[in-house]
Structure formats: C-alpha cells, structure tokens
C-alpha cells in the first residue's frame, strides 16, 4: 500500500503528506532503512525537516537495531525454499548459476555474483510460486490470469481484479509454510476482494491450517528478508 499523497525525499527523509495526519511523525522503515517523515497536508516543510534532524540520536538508535545486511558473496549461505545453499566460487568463465546439491556454483566476474544470484533466485521464486498458485487456484475453483514477481517493500503479495497475482520474490527465502500461507491468501482474493470473515475462512480452508502464525512470522521476521542480498550500504 502506498502512502496517501505520494512521497518525495528531502535531506535524506522520505516526506509523506497525509490528509489524516494531525502532527509530525518520524519512523524508520525496517525493510529499507529509510527515515520517513509524515506531515499534515498543510504543514510547513522547512521546520518539519529541522524537527526531524533534531531526532538524529533516536534515528541512530533505530538504525543500530536494523536487520544485518547479508550480501550475496562467496561463502554466504542462503535459505531457499527450506534448504540451505552456499555460494561457491567455481572455475571458468560461465556466467550462469549452477546448483550442485547444497551449493550454488558461480564462475565469471566476482563483482557480478550478487546480481546473478538474485536473478537465479527470482527465477526459482517465479517457478515455485506459479506452481503453488495453480495448486490453490484449482482447489478454490478460480482462474489466475498471471503470476508475476517483484521486490516491494510493504507487500508480500497482491491480487488484481484482472486475476493477476504478484508476489515478492523474497518469499522464497521464508519458510515454506509462510510462503504457502501467503499464496493461499492471495488466491482467496480471487473469491473475496476484502479481508472479511468469509475471506479468512477461505484462506484457512485452502491452506488446511490456521494462517495466523504465518502472518505473525512475517511481521516479526519479514524485514530481515529485505536485507538478504544487500550490502551494509543498502
């Protein structure tokens, strides 16, 4: 979900003017590490920026609590669909990523390893999420017109009225039971485009278990998934 009124960046702060805001609020997005300053619609920007800069110590404390960045480098391990894979340097000039058991073998330029590993993970995520979406769609008796992936900061999935479902590729890094609960959630939106009681009942029926623990897991651990593959500089 986007913020009302859009956002701009000023002096390192993501500025959001919200129609229902009554006062200034400052927060740090745990998924991106960005400082967000929310203002009432007609509030003056300059004093708001000065106020936010006065919170530098608080922001530093919050940044110290952010999840640890885990770049895709040789020797790094990644949880992929409930399996731990290790990035291993291979000989030769091959640019493609080769999986060998619990190893991801990469030759070619070392400076492009991160980009190539992420591309490989995105492809695996699309394959797996497409299969699981088809599984739940068949169970629900609905059609899904398209499955796509992206890297949104605030949503793990979205379902359009057209029947297209879009997921965060980072669900591949979450436990399988969390990923599948998210897929069931989005497929259930093909029947109920809301979050009412019937919707939640359908999600539980499709999943075969209570999806509440999966939602709780994402609230607690989801931000850390956004730091996988990132350097400390973001």
- Sole residue written with tokens 């959630």: 185
| 146 bridge partner residues | 164
Maximum pairwise Cα distance, the chain: 60
Per-residue confidence (pLDDT) for residue 93, from 0 to 100: 80
Task: Please compute the mean of the pLDDT values over residues 46-64 and round it to a whole number.
Answer: 93
Q: Are 90 and 137 in contact (CB under 8 A)?
A: no
Dump pLDDT digits (tens) for 160-181.
999 999 999 999 999 999 999 9
Lowest mean pLDDT among 75-89, 91-105, 121-135: 91-105
Give CA–CA dist 189/187, Å, rounded. Answer: 5
pLDDT band at 133 (very low <50, low <70, confident <90, very high): very high
Burial (CB < 10 A; 0-12, 13-18, 19+), residue 151, is: exposed
Residues in the chain: 234
């Amino acid at each position: 979900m986007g913020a009302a009124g859009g956002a701009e960046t000023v002096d390192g702060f993501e500025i959001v003017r919200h129609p229902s805001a009554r006062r200034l609020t400052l927060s740090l997005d745990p998924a991106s590490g960005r400082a967000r300053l929310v203002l009432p619609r007609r509030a003056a920007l300059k004093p708001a920026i000065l106020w936010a800069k006065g919170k530098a110590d608080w922001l530093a404390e919050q940044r110290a609590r952010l999840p640890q960045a885990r770049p895709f480098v040789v020797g790094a391990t990644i949880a992929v669909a409930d399996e731990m894979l290790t990035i291993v340097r291979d000989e030769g000039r091959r640019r493609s990523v080769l999986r060998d058991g619990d190893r991801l073998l990469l030759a070619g330029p070392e400076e492009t390893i991160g980009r190539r590993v992420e591309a490989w993970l995105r492809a695996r995520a699309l394959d797996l999420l497409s299969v699981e979406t088809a599984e739940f769609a068949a169970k629900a008796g609905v059609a899904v017109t398209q499955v796509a992936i992206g890297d949104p900061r605030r949503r793990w999935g979205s379902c359009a009225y057209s029947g297209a479902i879009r997921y965060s590729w980072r669900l591949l890094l979450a436990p399988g039971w969390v990923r599948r609960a998210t897929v069931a959630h989005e497929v259930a939106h093909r029947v109920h485009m809301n979050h009412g009681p019937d919707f939640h009942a359908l999600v539980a029926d499709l999943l075969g278990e209570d999806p509440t623990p999966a939602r709780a897991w994402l609230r607690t651990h989801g931000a850390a998934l956004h730091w996988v593959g990132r350097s400390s500089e973001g």
